[in-house]
């Protein structure tokens, strides 16, 4: 992607200083979603990138990963798999816990998410990678279902927090924008 295209996308994302607490710059993607040209441009870029990677499924992390993952799944005519917070999926699930700054959290995936297909090729997608805990847990869930995470894709990477570097030990990582 050209630098001017990256600037276009980054300019479509609102930066809110001191939210949710002082010293944090929150990247609000709702302004990108509300810009039909920017959102279409992003999905077209991702579709071009992934069209020839022989992907079987796109898995999105709750909740913003659902937005990008479902749109890309529809564009590429692929199945979409939600990875959710505990208690949100109605069938048998695998769980994976991960560390947060103060405590732990858990995500889940249906045990038949990839239709019991061994070595299914899966693209993981979310809006942002910071410390990488959620993404690491998601890749572990994909692997536990005997599928292959072909790549983890993020709209934004917060480089100072190094989550993408750690995730790269498990799968290839693509970040559209790095801040």
Tell me the pLDDT tens digit for each residue of 37-78.
999 999 999 999 999 999 999 999 999 999 999 999 999 999
- What average pLDDT score do residues 91-104 get? 90
Q: Rounded distance, CA 33 to CA 43, Å? A: 11
pLDDT at 108 over 90: yes
pLDDT, residue 148, reads 98
Match 């816990």 to its residue by tokens. 97
In the chain, domain spans? 53-178
pLDDT at 100 over 80: no
Q: What percent of the chain has pLDDT over 90?
A: 94
Q: Rounded distance, CA 171 to CA 154, Å? A: 13
pLDDT at 30 over 90: yes
Q: Please say whether the beta carbons of 117 and 54 come within 8 A.
A: no
Class of residue 36 by CB neighbours under 10 A (exposed 0-12, middle 13-18, buried 19+): exposed
CATH T-level assignment (fold) for domain 53-178: Rossmann fold (3.40.50)
Q: Please say whether the beta carbons of 28 and 19 come within 8 A.
A: no
pTM over 0.85: yes
pLDDT at 102 over 90: no
């Amino acid at each position: 992607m050209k630098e001017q295209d990256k600037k276009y996308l980054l300019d479509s994302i609102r930066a809110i200083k001191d939210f949710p607490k002082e010293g944090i710059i929150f990247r609000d993607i709702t302004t990108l979603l509300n810009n039909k040209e920017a959102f279409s441009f992003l999905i077209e870029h991702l579709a071009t990138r992934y069209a020839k990677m022989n992907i079987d499924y796109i898995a999105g992390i709750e909740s913003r990963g659902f937005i990008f993952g479902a749109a890309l799944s529809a564009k590429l005519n692929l199945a979409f798999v939600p990875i959710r917070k505990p208690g949100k999926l109605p069938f048998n699930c695998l769980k994976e816990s991960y560390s947060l700054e103060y405590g732990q959290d858990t995500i889940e995936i249906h045990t038949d998410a990839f239709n019991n297909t061994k070595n299914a090729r899966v693209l993981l997608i979310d809006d942002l990678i910071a410390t990488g805990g959620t993404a690491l847990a998601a890749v572990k869930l994909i692997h536990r279902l005997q599928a292959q995470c072909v790549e983890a894709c993020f709209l934004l990477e917060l480089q100072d927090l190094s989550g993408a570097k750690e995730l790269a030990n498990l799968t290839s990582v693509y970040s559209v924008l790095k801040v």
